[in-house]
Amino acid sequence: MPSLKESPYLPRAKSLATPNPMHILVSSTWWTFGITSIVQLVLFIRWLYRHIRNEELTRAFVHDMAANHLPHIYELLEMLCDEQGIKRNPLPPIRWIDLNYRPRT
């Protein structure tokens, strides 16, 4: 009969001193840390995508307004000035300003 010290069911002192790497992965603190990190990363990427998309939509709206609608608005204003006999100024040119321009030195 095997002695009590040689039983395969009892933990050994050496295995308790150095935990198995699988026990570290099973630990609930690492799962909590990992899941919250992934959620934060997903939320950040979603926010970044929406922010960039909003800027693109705003830029497209401003470009469309200046290129398509302003000429019609100025044409109607000219007609109103002609009807009321108001001296009008020449149409201002559309000047595009590149706010992201960085001169190269």
Choice between 57 and 12, residue whose per-residue pLDDT is larger:
57
Segment (H or E) for 8: none
Q: What is the pLDDT of residue 42?
A: 97
CA distances to 13, 25, 29, 33, 54 from 45, in Å: 47, 26, 24, 18, 14
Residue 98 has pLDDT above 70, yes or no: no
* pTM for the structure as a whole: 0.46
Distance, in Å, from the CA atom of 56 to the CA atom of 49, rounded to the nearest integer, reads 11
Average of pLDDT values for 36-41?
A: 96
